[in-house]
Structure 1
Amino acid sequence: MSGHPKNTKAERFGRWLGRAYRNLMQQEQRLRLWLVGLGVPAKGARIVAWCLRLSALALLLSFSILLAMICIGLWLIGRGIARSDLSYRTPDVEWRNGQSGFGLYTRDEFRIDPHVFEDD
């Protein structure tokens, strides 16, 4: 048995997420310092950073709504296909030879297409 416990996947993911957040905050700090170096007031630089943060949040929200709409649409299409009756139905009428010659007959042996006898 070793003296140190192994990191779980959840712990590694949490550490990765923490490093990503810390790097993002460092980039934001660099942006604010760059803006202040250009002559923008510190309060204005902070507002620009917050606007970028909110726009990124709005972009993620719109993407998640779009993804949810696509998933719901696919689910509804699949549900409609599962409930539909796609089995083959035998037709009520068919073209065949019958008592009055070749024509369109029902199941009750009645010819329903307009036909002309040769005797007429």
Structure 2
Amino acid sequence: MNTTTRTSTAERLGRAFGRGWRAYARRERRASNWLVSKGMPRAGATALVWVAKLAVLGVLLYVAFWFALVMLGVAAAGWAAAANTSDEDEWPFTDLTELRKTPGYDPNLYNDTSHELYTDD
């Protein structure tokens, strides 16, 4: 019997996400401290970090907006293409009288038994 507990996939993903978040916060703090060491006021460094975050968020929202717009266009094009299909056969003539008016009509090819030129072989 095995007494060791196994970590679930959700726990492993959570730990990986936490490590990534801590690394991001550490780099952000390091960048802010570097700006302060170069003579920028602490409030200015904090504001600059927030401006960078908001700029990245703005770019992500901009890309997401255009991606959603393209996907809506693709969906609308698919809907329009599906709406243009008919349930009827792709036969170009509506009835037998129009078919008989076409040049070169042969009643044997269409099994038109009511036509006077139809021959039963």
Normalised by the length of structure 1, the TM-score is 0.67
Percent identity, aligned pairs only, is 28
Is 1:96–2:70 an aligned residue pair?
no
**Hey, what's the Cα distance between the residues in 2 that align with 1:73 and 1:5?**
50
One-letter amino acid of the counterpart of residue 20, structure 1:
G
* Pairwise CA distance, 1:70: 2.0
2:112 equivalent in structure 1: none
* Pairwise CA distance, 1:6: 2.2
Is 1:52–2:66 an aligned residue pair?
no
Closer/same/farther in 2, CA of residues 4 and 78 from structure 1, 3 Å limit = farther
Structure 1 residues not aligned, in runs of 5+: 99-120
Partner of 2:92, secondary structure, is coil
Closer/same/farther in 2, CA of residues 40 and 10 from structure 1, 3 Å limit = same
2:66 equivalent in structure 1: 66
Specify which structure has the higher proportion of strand: 1
Tell me how large the CA RMSD over aligned residues is.
2.4
Closer/same/farther in 2, CA of residues 84 and 6 from structure 1, 3 Å limit = farther
Closer/same/farther in 2, CA of residues 70 and 47 from structure 1, 3 Å limit = same
**Hey, what's the Cα distance between the residues in 2 that align with 1:89 and 1:46?**
72
Normalised by the length of structure 2, the TM-score is 0.67
Once the two structures are overlaid, the 10-residue window that deviates more, 87-96 or 67-76, is 87-96
* Pairwise CA distance, 1:25: 0.8
1:12 equivalent in structure 2: 12
**Hey, what's the Cα distance between the residues in 2 that align with 1:63 and 1:14?**
27
1:33 equivalent in structure 2: 33
* Cα shift readout 1:34-87 (whole Å, capped 9, x = no counterpart): 111111011100100111111111122222222222222222211222221266
Structure 2 residues not aligned, in runs of 5+: 106-121
